[in-house]
Chain A
């Protein structure tokens, strides 16, 4: 059971990363990967929406906030693994690639995919987040300094 949960945790992580990534960055990583995965498309990329919910007072009753655009896609490799994708936005190429990568991560190509695609995407996302957080931190009010008239 634990093993299955661990597998799910790993899969959840890479699927989430692919869902949120910038299509242009995935484009670059995809070219670098240079991997052909023989497959059939189970569900062609389809654009739709997901209703996003919030909670009253952040902790109370759920309510509908509004929708986001999402594209989904499913594939099956000729070696038998199924790959799924639910990705933000309306980019069908991104959805197809995400599904292929999800399937590929269940094969021997996993190490290469991690090295060429997942790690670079994750590094880029972390860098963007760190930069934003650092800019926010620079706008932190230091009441103590102001009151003492230092600086």
Chain B
């Protein structure tokens, strides 16, 4: 019975050769370079970095090319590559307050110090197809204005001064790491945040949307959404002091949520938090909403039985690589499994028809 799974080698080789040809497409059309993907499909690159959990734009662009634009396949490639790298250490937590912001908006304070910077946004575009892009052409340089050299403080700090906002608890020096230990429940907030930031954008978006539609509604305002560059600092063991080992683009979303108080907490605003590699604001906002919904227990709220409050459900299904691995394996040969199922059904059929015959006699 096992014979059936052998003998596919040539078919597999030929399938992969055809895959390579199809990936290239019509050879009359110029080939796409990795640099072109990195520069011109940047948001796709960002998503692959965020969910692949590895910030390296060139690698993410290569993965997108290899995967023919299949994002989850590209994320899979990055996750697989990541496991081959020795880990040199962990960074200091990034200082998002010192971010060089490309974009920074607040839905709660119009006159936030530092102002509202729209950045290179799709917002306020008309979502009409631009046929000019179908033709090649130079793009005029974007306008510039002298920038305010002062830092852009976090808006949440102003609410904090009035004591109207829940304070964030300090946590362990070394947070739990999903890439080292399997997920254990109940999960602390640091573990949930790691799971959410690398989780599937579509899944996190769906979960967040469910809270807006009334499944554990927590009425979020975007206190601040900022996108920009931060330095990554790490202690260097050979030196005994820290240096900046790189810089990354991240999106950060802080929400304030209406909170009437609970058995343990006074009426105040509570917070949800999203932080994602790259310019990924849909994901960052979604993450903040789901983070807030998952915090019901520590805030002493009621469990309304909503999916977004169920950390076992959310965290176990957020990872698209785990999900697709299990889902897609069912298309691979299960000949032996199925053979036994077939035998079973035939046996049951025989038993039933025997019973019917006996009853008739």
Which residues of A line the B interface, CB within 8 A? 8, 11-12, 15-16, 19-20, 46-70, 72, 74, 82, 84, 86-90, 129-141, 143
Q: Known contacts A50-B89, A54-B275: does B243 contact A68 (CB below 8 Å)?
A: no
Contact of A52 among B86, B169, B248 (CB under 8 A): B248
Q: Is the CB of A15 within 8 A of B91?
A: no
CA distance A136 to B172 in the complex (A): 36
Contacts of B87-126 to chain A: CB distance below 8 A: 87-94, 96-97, 100-103, 110-111, 115-121
Q: Is the CB of B245 within 8 A of A70?
A: yes
- Residues of A within 8 Å of B88, CB to CB, are 48-50, 70, 72, 86
- Contact digits for B290-318, partner A, Cβ 8 Å, 1 yes 0 no: 00000000000000000000000000000
Say whether B238 faces chain A, with CB atoms less than 8 Å apart: yes
Contact of A19 among B118, B145, B188, B244 (CB under 8 A): B244
Q: Which residue of B lies closest to A51 (CB)?
A: B90
Say whether B154 faces chain A, with CB atoms less than 8 Å apart: yes
Q: How far is the CB of A27 from chain B (nearest CB, A)?
A: 16
Q: Is the CB of A139 within 8 A of B146?
A: no
Q: Known contacts A86-B243, A139-B118, A139-B119: does B175 contact A63 (CB below 8 Å)?
A: yes
Q: Known contacts A67-B53, A141-B116: does B168 contact A57 (CB below 8 Å)?
A: yes
Q: Is the CB of B277 within 8 A of A63?
A: no
Say whether B76 faces chain A, with CB atoms less than 8 Å apart: no
Contact of B85 among A67, A88, A139 (CB under 8 A): A67
Contact of B246 among A8, A19, A132, A139 (CB under 8 A): A19
Q: Would you list 11 pairs from A and B whose C-beta atoms are within 8 A, ordered by A residue?
A: A48-B85, A53-B91, A60-B168, A61-B169, A63-B175, A68-B56, A132-B100, A132-B102, A139-B118, A141-B116, A143-B110
Q: Is the CB of A50 within 8 A of B87?
A: yes
Say whether B72 faces chain A, with CB atoms less than 8 Å apart: no
- Residues of A within 8 Å of B96, CB to CB, are 54, 58
Interface of B is mostly: mixed
Say whether B197 faces chain A, with CB atoms less than 8 Å apart: yes
CA distance A79 to B145 in the complex (A): 49
- Residues of A within 8 Å of B101, CB to CB, are 136
Say whether B67 faces chain A, with CB atoms less than 8 Å apart: no
CA distance A57 to B85 in the complex (A): 30
Say whether B2 faces chain A, with CB atoms less than 8 Å apart: no
Q: Is the CB of A48 within 8 A of B86?
A: yes
Q: Known contacts A56-B193, A66-B54, A69-B56: does B85 contact A49 (CB below 8 Å)?
A: yes
Q: Known contacts A58-B97, A135-B142, A137-B145: does B86 contact A88 (CB below 8 Å)?
A: no
- Residues of A within 8 Å of B120, CB to CB, are 139
CA distance A138 to B148 in the complex (A): 11
- Contact digits for B268-281, partner A, Cβ 8 Å, 1 yes 0 no: 00010101010000
Q: How far is the CB of B92 from chain A (nearest CB, A)?
A: 7
Say whether B156 faces chain A, with CB atoms less than 8 Å apart: yes
Q: Is the CB of A62 within 8 A of B273?
A: no
- Residues of B within 8 Å of A51, CB to CB, are 87, 89-91, 177, 179
- Residues of A within 8 Å of B177, CB to CB, are 51, 64
Q: How far is the CB of A69 from chain B (nearest CB, A)?
A: 4
- Residues of B within 8 Å of A133, CB to CB, are 100, 147
- Residues of B within 8 Å of A82, CB to CB, are 238
Q: Which residue of A lies closest to B242 (CB)?
A: A12
Say whether B191 faces chain A, with CB atoms less than 8 Å apart: yes
Say whether B37 faces chain A, with CB atoms less than 8 Å apart: no
Q: Known contacts A57-B156, A138-B143: does B94 contact A52 (CB below 8 Å)?
A: yes
Q: Is the CB of B118 within 8 A of A58?
A: no
Q: Is the CB of B102 within 8 A of A141?
A: no
- Residues of A within 8 Å of B171, CB to CB, are 56, 60-63
Q: Known contacts A8-B241, A61-B190, A64-B175: does B169 contact A50 (CB below 8 Å)?
A: no
Contact of B144 among A16, A46, A55, A131 (CB under 8 A): A131
- Residues of B within 8 Å of A62, CB to CB, are 93, 171-175, 190
CA distance A129 to B231 in the complex (A): 13
Say whether B34 faces chain A, with CB atoms less than 8 Å apart: no
Contact of A53 among B53, B93, B188 (CB under 8 A): B93
